[in-house]
Amino acid sequence: MAKVTFLPANVSYECDLEKLPYHDHGLPKSCLDVAINAGFTLEHACGGNCACTTCHVVVKSGAEFLSDLEDDEADRLNEAADLQLDSRLGCQVHFVKDGEVVLEIPSWNRNYISEGGASMNLGDAIPTGKK
């Protein structure tokens, strides 16, 4: 089982990585995929294609359970606001084994999420839980 806690909301989700759906939510077993399938709204304007920075998260703990930073992700992250040492793109960083991970949503993206915003991508503009 994998467990992801999103800060500052401090909400946690557990999932079976082998049963995780994968559809337009970044790489298989991505943190974005976990979030979306758990009903947690994490912006992903480009549809998880490593072409924006709206899924920016900061790994606070559990990096050993996650994929290494690849060149494409690093190049895109260089354009992210509030870039930090442990910044990752939620759609690219993915679980490589079961474990517990804590991710922080950068402050510039919190208001949108706290106001119930959903992705503007691919017609998914309905707040989570209102589909």
Indicate whether 87 belongs to the interface with ligand FES (CB under 6 A). no
Stretch that binds ligand FES, among 15-23, 48-56, 94-102, 107-115 (CB under 6 A): 48-56
Instruction: Pick the closer one to ligand FES by CB: 98 or 124.
Output: 124
Phi-psi category of 90—alpha, beta or left, where left has phi over 0 and alpha has psi -120 to 50? alpha
Indicate whether 55 belongs to the interface with ligand FES (CB under 6 A). yes
Which residue in 89, 93, 105, 118 binds ligand FES (CB under 6 A)? 89
Three-class SS of residue 60?
strand
Cα angle 72-33-37, degrees, rounded to a multiple of 5: 165
114 backbone dihedrals φ, ψ, rounded to 5°: -65, -20
Which residue in 20, 27, 36, 50 binds ligand FES (CB under 6 A)? 50
| Number of residues this chain uses to bind ligand FES (CB under 6 A) | 14
Instruction: Pick the closer one to ligand FES by CB: 54 or 109.
Output: 54
Cα–Cα distance measured from residue 104 to residue 59, given in angstroms and rounded to the nearest whole number? 6
